[in-house]
Chains A and B, each alone.
Chain A
Amino acid sequence: MTNKQQIRRALVLLAFLGLAFAGLGYRLVDLQVLRHDELSAKAEQNTQREFWQAPRRGNILDATGNILATSVPVKTICADPSLVGTFQPLVAHALAPLLAISEAELLQKLTPRLARNARGEVVTNNLHYVRLARNVSEDTWRQVTAAMTNLTFGVDEKKLPRAQKEFVHDLRQHAVFSEPDQMRVYPNGSLASQVVGFPAAEEAKVSGRLVSQIVGRDGVELAMQKALSGVAGWKVTETDRAQHELVALRDEDVHPRDGLNVVLTVDSAVQHIVETALAEALQKHTPRSITGIVMRPKTGEILAMASLPNYDPNQPNSITPETRNRVITDVVEPGSTFKIVVVSGALNNNVVKLTDQFDCEHGHFAFAGRVLHDHEAFGMLTAESIITKSSNIGAAKIGIRLGADSLYDYAWNYGFGQRSGIPLPGEARGFLYPVKNWSKVSIAQIPMGHGVAVTRLQMLYAMAAIANHGCLMRPMIISRLEERDGSIVQRYAPERVRQIIGEKADADMIEALKTVPTKDGTAPDAGMKNYVVAGKTGTAQKAENGSYAPGKYISSFIGFFPADNPELCISVVMDEPREGYYGGKVCGPVFREIAERCASYLNIPPDPKLMTNNPAAFVVENAAAKL
């Protein structure tokens, strides 16, 4: 029989147990329901790791597939100073020769520093993460790991207490670690450096962690940044205590999409020819700068674009404002090369024929209160001879006959005063003032290339239009975008901008231009032995501080060949040449050098009219006789 006391005790026990279970139940509900989101996020944070997978930046290739810029996998060496303890001098001594950093600098990086944060609290900087070196090769990283493993502390480690053994193990295995990175490499050094451009490493915060990215700063590297950079991937996974990934618990694994390869229209062999010829001319005439461009007039493809002095993108210290791409960034008065605009316009409007005579006033022509001069005293000259002899007065008179509005329209249609649309950053528009802003003398000055400012590319672009039956083609520098396996993603086709002059006027203009690289013209040294060349010289005084600087000239020669079926249009421009300054004298020979070597490399058939004393035909005839 149970008495009342026993029942009471049982009830108290029951109540106590009930209360305990109710407490547990409440705790369970609190953890599993009320704080579910917070705690599950915390649990995920404790176990899951997110790894950012950097895409490989695409290559920049020339038209024949040669590498102009590529990315090389490298390592960024980092350290956890909290695991180094007081052994910074030892670690710095071991790593300094491998990383090519001074011991003092390494020591400073490995030592945690005290600093105040924004709230004025004293915090320890670089406690767990510090970058020791970037762009370290795989081989060097292996040497670094070996050096860390072989660190000796001058004590018998077997006799150390367990905690110190663990410290030594962590110091050797985890104190210095690496992160994958990539480095941009330019195998050909300075070749086409201003076209290719250069990049810089930028830090970006991804998932709360700083990651290094390569970002273009100039040239194609900048213009095609999006295509080159690719899309990053990521991996959500779990790691063990030693930070090794537990592959079975990998949750998400999205591979990065590598950047596309950008294939240029530039041919590195042609570029090399141009740069070699320009470097020789730079040595001979010591100008401040010299530029050269080679373009296919039929398509607008640029085969070479060079500006000296240039830089080596592998050495960022060599990049200065002086090494900019002057072909597109600098604007200058073009001088006599601009005469092609006024003469072709006048021929197209039928206000002038090649045989029309103009009085060149024996070198002095007073117009609108100013006196225009020629470099020689010419009397009566035909329109063709005005081009041949490069008479300023003759060109001014043709301009006056053409009229201001037409002259402006032709100059605009040839692309002056506007960007050509070449996909390179930093292209200048140049200056072509509207007719309402012209002075009285402008109509006489502009035909001789004064009162307008153009880029060197614009001038070549205009000459290429004459070589291409009067049709202006947009300059192309990028041919296509490719995947890493070579499959084409996007192809850029030649783009016709507009027809500027008719076939007849164009043919007449070419006939006139053919007379320039002859013994009667201004550029006899630009003539080629086996090809008929058409071109125009230019010698413009440099404008400085609102007036023309004496003895400072921009000398140029722009031409194309074979004149009747143009394959290449070439421009050579020198800024302040010192040994001679006439465009035909200083730039003509450089043009010929480039043209002859390019013709040989590109296997351009010579002009049949110039085939004399043909030994090749003789050999074949003999061979035929033997057969």
Chain B
Amino acid sequence: MSNSSSLWSDALSRLLKNKAAVSGAVILFILITLAILAPFIAPYPYAYQDLDLGASPPSSLHWLGTDVLGRDLLSRILYGARISLLVGFIATTVALIIGVSWGIIAGYFGGKIDSVMMRIVDVLYGLPFIIFIILLMVIFGRNLWLLFLAIGAIEWLTMARIVRAQVLTLKNQEFVLAAQAMGVSNFAMFKRHLLPNILGPIAVYATLTIPQVMLLESFLSFLGLGIQPPMSSWGTLIKDGVESMEEYSWLLIYPGLTFTITLFSLNFFGDGLRDALDPKTSE
């Protein structure tokens, strides 16, 4: 175990030297904290309307202004963060579960099983999944959990490929052969011996999947096919902002800025994590 802990502490010290990754992590930490605490720190309830006020520019009462219905934009961005980040994490978890199991099984058993499973992945790669998600949302209604599942179900492909490649390099090493000789069950092999050794690449790719998932969700919400009112994600806020940007540009700019900064932070943190865990790939 001392060997593996030094791998992680090495990685941590490399990560801490990467300024972009550290600032990304700090911003993400602040955002997640704010999102969790939204009900306590948001200045107004997210559906609270001040119709007399209408759309007003940023002021001391409403730091980021209000929308056409007189709802406080800061509060709505904070509550939107909950939905957007939740989609990011849950859909990524779905993708992780499918992709990791698929990759481990294909890589470990090899042969026919492997070639059939990876051929399926190749074929699915070539299909326009975004269209199928829209189709699913139209047919089965705009259900939040369905959205998580559908997005997760299309993002697992790359994960499956990465995990399979890792397992292929591991499965002929002595510790795997030793475990096989001792008669370890397949499930225990996956859980105890293979998974802990590929956690690094999984963590890296998961971090880089979250922004993709969030983009996909906001894309759907922007088209009106994702999160439905009165709930709001950053995608729906941007959609509302676009509709009234000619007169009230702050309604587009602040949600857009928040969203972009989050995506930046996630990408920088993910890149930093990759470089830290696998120094070979960084030039």
Do A and B pair up? The answer is no
Chain B positions near chain A (C-beta within 8 angstroms): none
